[in-house]
Structure 1
Amino acid sequence: MKNEHSTGRKNTTAGGGRTRLVRAAGAAAVVLGLTGVSACAAADTGSSSSAGGSSGKVTIAVPSWVGAEANGAVAKYILENELDTEAELKQLDESVAFDALHSGKVDAIMEDWGGAPKKVQLYVEENKTVVEGGDLGVVGHIGWFVPKYLADKHPDITDWKNLNKYKDLFKTAESGDKGQLLEGSPSYTTNDDAIIKNLDLEYKTVYAGSEAAQITQIRENYKAKKPFISYWWTPQWLNADIDMVEVKLPEHKEGCDADPEKVACAYPETPLQKYFNADFADNGGDAAKFLKNFTWTADEQNEVAAMIAGQKMSSEAAAEKWVKANKDVWEKWLP
């Protein structure tokens, strides 16, 4: 997920007053049921669409990873089938989504990992065109992970201080004489190059290109019981199918990631957040109230995400199946 630099290259995050960091979750290869919008269109602040619910339609920005797709699909299904409100999902990178929230081109972001702190400062704290929508209910965490079979064979490999000793296990054609740290998409925010440099680790970040490509590579390595180390995260639906162990990096402390060039610590626990267009939050009626009330657990999100990415169901079908089976959960979200 891109931060406000949106250069298409890997980005770093600064801590500041917020400890939320962007997961380096790669994009799902195909995000079903979403309509695209260009960066130029999203950044155009000269017009508004459904802000405030004036058009009777709610537009939700959906970052391009499957957990966020699960949020959007379930929200859309309930809006349309329980609140008689048309809903549209637009796939947008995180930074562009904040521009679209500001302009009124979208009404809500359901899952933000804190990767656009400058946009939050500008739109939430200064312009007040965007407002906080509360916790999604899911706590995310980024880290470096190895498969359990490797940790069982080499127990000390889960301490970063011993990683250089094992670099040869992780060498690939792409990493040369260094160990490979597998990443997702090069457009997603990560502190890994800084961590590698500042901890004097003989490793190189190698990007699979997307969430789906990273998962494919992990699955292939896991099936063959090959050694690998990967930038990975929770919640993630695949964790129900594979057993991974986190490598302990230096403890995260407030401010340790404030300077992107000097990061030498682990990623923090990250409560995922919702943000709304300010006009929509005030005037969006039952739709706005519903989205404010929308909170679920990582297990619930993973259940829908696994149907989409693991079972290859359409996002609409996955949402419908989950909603019909979990009325006791979502009924509490209704106004």
Structure 2
Amino acid sequence: MEHELGYRVDTVQVDEVPAWDALSQGRGGRDPGGLGPPRAGAALRPATRRPSRDAGPLGVSGHIGWWVPKYFADAHPDVLDWKNLNKYAAQLRTPESGGKGQLLDGSPSYVTHDKALVKNLNLDYQVVFAGSEAAQITQIKQFAKDRKPFLTYWYEPQWLFNEVPMVEVKLPAYSEACGTKGEKDPDSVDCAYPTSELKKYLNAGFSRKGGDAASFLKKFRWTKKDQNEVAQLMAEDKLSAEDAAERWVKRHPDVWKKWVA
């Protein structure tokens, strides 16, 4: 927007609720949709009375689930059906899982359904918390380096898939009935996490009168692969957000030139 359209752009990191307040009051032009821990499967929902406008899909869907490394799935394809997980509990046992198979989670502060799923699906597993997302990533990388099997709670889009290919274990299909039941009683959940399409929202006035800037934001759309590429540059290569974006822009003019046309 700065180099191609001549705007001055300030980026501000704000928590979700203050972001919606700023958007409704005209203090923020755009709020990207987001999904990931600790909000298990929750889409970013605008309050209906706030003057914001749906600016279309980001191009990425967010999803939380259970994953195993691809090398383990290739060797044991039936592990990808939750009904067969108990068959592999002994192989997925760790010193921390108390004689059961380990389901690796991140921070205890994450709001997940994993303990309920283990109980309600009668799985011979123990949820083990790494303590944080960073610690979970470290553990996953170590398992992969040693070519050990593991089962982990994880989400997409996420750059770690670029380094450790993982395949999702199919849990009982999500349904609105299951979701509603889970909202009333989280301990009753017995289905998969939902998939949420991530969207962009603009302040209503800016959406109507924002000119080329609003047009750019409405056109902006990329893939999970694009997002993971930038995130990996920041997380692993330690690039700043601006440097990571600049590198991506240089690599993908065929994508972003459509946004400024």
Alignment TM class, shorter chain as reference: 0.7 to 0.9
Letter in 2 for 1:311: D
CA distance in 1, matches of 2:145, 2:86: 25
Query: Secondary structure of 1:333's partner?
Result: coil
Q: Deviations over 1:255-291 (max 9, x none)?
A: 3222222321123333221122333323333222211
Residue 203 of structure 1 is matched in structure 2 by: 125
Give runs of aligned pairs for residues 1-150 of structure 1, distance below 5 A: 79-113=1-35, 115=42, 120=46, 123=47, 125=48, 127-150=49-72
Which residue of structure 2 lines up, in the alignment, with residue 285 of structure 1?
211
Partner of 1:19: none
1:238 aligns with 2:164: no
Q: 2:230 aligns with which of 304, 311, 332?
A: 304
Q: CA, structure 1 residues 212+111, in 2 after alignment: closer, same or farther (shift >3 Å)?
A: farther
Q: Is the 8 A contact 1:184 1:208 kept in 2?
A: yes
Structure 2 residue 175 is matched with structure 1 residue 248: no
Cα RMSD (Å) of the superposition?
A: 2.6
Structure 2 residue aligned with 1:194, among 101, 116, 127?
Answer: 116
User: Any conservation in 2 of the 1:144–1:247 contact (CA below 8 Å)?
Assistant: yes
- Report how far residue 144 of structure 1 moved: 0.7
Q: Which runs of 5+ in 2 are unaligned?
A: 36-40
In structure 1, C-alpha distance between the alignment counterparts of 2:43 and 2:195, rounded to whole Å: 17
TM-score w.r.t. the length of structure 1 is 0.66
Aligned to 2:190: 264
Aligned letter for 1:115?
Answer: A
Counterpart of 2:104 in structure 1: which amino acid?
L
Q: Distance in 1 between matches of 2:129 and 2:201?
A: 29
The CA distance in 2 between the partners of 1:242 and 1:279, in whole Å, is 44
Counterpart-to-counterpart distance in 2, 1:268 and 1:180: 23
Q: Give the secondary-structure state (helix, strand or coil) at the position aligned to 1:246.
A: strand
Q: 2:248 is matched with which residue?
A: 322
Match of 2:200 among 274, 281, 284: 274
Report the Cα offset of residue 295 of structure 1: 0.4
Q: Give 2:38's aligned residue.
A: none
- Percent sequence identity is 53
Match of 2:260 in 1: 334
Deviations 1:128-150 (A, max 9, x none): 32222210012333221111333
Equivalent position SS for 1:259: helix
Structure 1, unmatched stretches of 5+, are 1-78
Amino acid at match of 2:223: T
